[in-house]
Amino acid sequence: MIRLLDIQKTYDNGTKALKGVTLNIEDGEFVFLVGPSGSGKSTIIKLITGEEHPNAGRIMVNGYNLNSIHPRQIPYMRRTLGVIFQDFRLIDKKTVGENLEFAMRAVGASTREIRKRIPYVLDLVDLSQKEDRYPSQLSGGEQQRVAIARALVNNPDMIIADEPTGNLDPQRSLEIMTLLEKINELGTTMLVVTHAKELVNRFTKRVIAIENGRIFSDETGGYYKHEEI
């Protein structure tokens, strides 16, 4: 669950990245966030994860009020989110299994919980056979699936993906997006930032378009049609 109310964000160098953004995402939704480069998509993600703070406006994330959250509570808020990036951000010197274990250790999971959970998420992303591989021994699509598994491993309420298919070819991109759809159907709220217009058009999902720091349209259906108007 996400609530952004009239959010403004100006970076220290004076760049006005967001100029009054209001949007709500309910539990269980699948939402695409689209818009041209520099429109403020990643800024929204960073505000949600608590990496950046707004200059004005109110933010609620999965029941945490980020305007008044104590810094000590931020880790616990983040545990309700799984985050995926364009560049995967796996630890190269750890195997697939160890990468997932690392994420679980970070939230204080016990060895028993880890042993139980890892096979389950690896099966979900269809990488059961590759648990002992290193990231460099995997294709880009496989690496992103490991990153998805890592985002899922702590059983978050919501997954936030910032251009998860930016480094992948169309076929792999479709696979990844289909996987995210499947995870969403299992109950995890999904917020996906993307540039891939054709991909967005293949799914009939809610699409929030942002331009120049403002929400430009927000409706269920395709993405291209707005630009044609």
Partner 1 sequence: MKRYNFGYYFGEGFRSIFTHGLMSFVAVFMIVACLLIMGSFSLVALNLERELGNLERDNEFLAFVDESYTREQAMELQSRIEMVNNVSGVSFTTKEQAQEDYAAKYASDQNAALYSELPAEVFRDRYSVHMEDLSLIQETIDAVEAIEGIDGHQAAPEVAEGFVLVRNVATAVAMILIVLLLLISLFIIYNTIKLGTFTRREEIAIMKMCGATNGFVRGPFVFEGMILGLFGAVVAFFCQWGVYALIAQAIETGETFQLITVIPFGEIWPKVLGVFAGTGLVVGTGGSVMAIRKFLQV
Ligand X SMILES: Nc1ncnc2c1ncn2[C@@H]1O[C@H](COP(=O)(O)OP(=O)(O)OP(=O)(O)O)[C@@H](O)[C@H]1O
- Which residues bind to ligand X, rule: CB under 6 A? 11, 13, 15, 17, 35, 37-43
Site residues for partner 1, window 61-100 (CB under 8 A)? 72, 75-79, 81, 83, 89, 91
Is residue 42 at the binding interface for Mg ion, with CB under 5 A as the rule?
yes
Is the Cβ of residue 79 or residue 197 nearer to partner 1 in the bound state? 79
Is residue 137 at the binding interface for partner 1, with CB under 8 A as the rule?
no
Is the Cβ of residue 35 or residue 156 nearer to partner 1 in the bound state? 156
Site residues for partner 1, window 142-201 (CB under 8 A)? 150, 154
Amino acid at 27: D
Is residue 86 at the binding interface for Mg ion, with CB under 5 A as the rule?
no
Is the Cβ of residue 99 or residue 207 nearer to partner 1 in the bound state? 99
Residues making contact with partner 1 (CB under 8 A): 49, 51, 72, 75-79, 81, 83, 89, 91, 102-103, 105-108, 110-111, 150, 154
